[in-house]
Amino acid sequence: MANDSELRKRLNSEIERVRKLPKPPPNESCTCYWVINSLLEAAGYEKHEILLQGAISAGVPDYTILPQTDYTWYLEAKDWKVTLDKSHAVQAVNYANAQGKRWVVLSNGRQWHLYDNYLRERPAEDRLVVSVELESPDLIDFLFALSKPSVTSGQLERYVVQKQIKDVLDEQLKNPSSKAITMLTEFLRKEGITDVQPDDIVNYFGLKTPPPPPPPPPNNVYTLAELHELRDKLAFNKPTHVQFPDQTIREVSSWKEMAGSIVEWFAQHNRLPELPIPWDPRSKRWFVAREPVHGTGTKMAIPYRIDTPQGELFIEAFCSSGDHIRSIHTLFQAAGEPPEGLVITLKDPIPMD
């Protein structure tokens, strides 16, 4: 097992990787796969010590860490785009309470909230004890406290106490009218410093209110499954990058170039279904074929030629952005590939009205 220094170095490296993601995760599944899973493993947990519940386990948090041990804790995951609300943790905290377990984490990858189920005098949603952001320098201490060595040695409890002390004092010692500053002012005057003012004490500690974190970037990243539902809203938009199911990324400048790159990817991986492939399962107009001729006998209006290991292929490029998405979705269905595995970055976010 890694020592503390090695563990912190590994965590810091993984945190920096997440902070530099080329694009935000488009959904909850990608948030888990790209961010949460890798940070848990960097925190010292083996894969078999991370139990994913899946959609069939209603009421159970998304992650059970160190299952069936004295140190079990839970993590409830949310989509990267979702701003965490204390109501999100109620179900997970109540589940932990029923299981007699103490700790629950709520995270969307950007925000990390730790709940202490032993604070049973409070409502479940008010048991939040530590909250940190991805960009905060405190995140490494937070994840180190949640690491396997820390949890199994009882260090998590001490971390929470120290973090609560820091949060309370940081807030109190920057406010001249706070209870702590008032008490210190009275104490120092009794000690003979009769001219001391609350501002003198605040200046002594030198605490300043940090600037608020920047707002999250606009979301312009979508899975193929999401774009298929939104395909009627793609007018005047265009793709800039496509991430394939194997996580490789390609820059593109048009819908036809994106479509061609996707067909090339399937061909290069020997996954291309039987040709021709229609725009949709009932159509005689081909999306991709070996000849630039549709099943109706008419020539493709704008044939877009691509070279693949299976030979020369043609894509019908005379279609709308929505038709391109529908055709690519048909290709994924024919290949048996989940459409959630293709991630597309658009020039602009899709307006939601």
CA count, 13 A, side-chain hemisphere, 121: 0
Strand order in the sheet with 343-346: 221-223, 343-346, 239-243, 249-251
pLDDT for residue 281: 78
How many C-beta neighbours within 10 Å does residue 124 have? 22
Q: How many residues does the structure list for the chain?
A: 353
Distance CA(353)–CA(346), nearest Å, equals 18
Distance CA(130)–CA(351), nearest Å, equals 35
pLDDT in tens, 149-202: 999 999 999 999 998 898 899 889 989 999 999 999 999 999 999 999 998 998
Distance CA(209)–CA(172), nearest Å, equals 11
pLDDT for residue 218: 61
Between 54-58, 310-314, 344-348, the lowest mean confidence (pLDDT) is in: 54-58
Q: Where are the alpha helices (DSSP H) in 195-292?
A: 198-205, 224-229, 255-268
Distance CA(8)–CA(23), nearest Å, equals 25
Kindly state the percentage of the chain with pLDDT values over 70. 94
End-to-end CA distance of the chain: 52
The arithmetic mean of pLDDT across residues 115-140, rounded, is 92
In single-letter form, the type of residue at position 35 comes to V
pLDDT for residue 58: 65
In single-letter form, the type of residue at position 285 comes to R
Domain 4-167 classified CATH 3.90.1570? Answer: yes
Distance CA(293)–CA(82), nearest Å, equals 46
Q: For the chain, which residues make up each domain, given as ranges?
A: 4-167, 221-346
In single-letter form, the type of residue at position 243 comes to Q
pTM for the model: 0.55
**pLDDT of 1 strictly over 60:** no
pLDDT in tens, 59-107: 789 999 999 999 999 999 999 999 998 888 888 898 898 899 999 999 9
pLDDT in tens, 200-249: 998 888 855 556 776 665 689 999 999 999 999 998 999 999 999 999 99
pLDDT for residue 146: 97
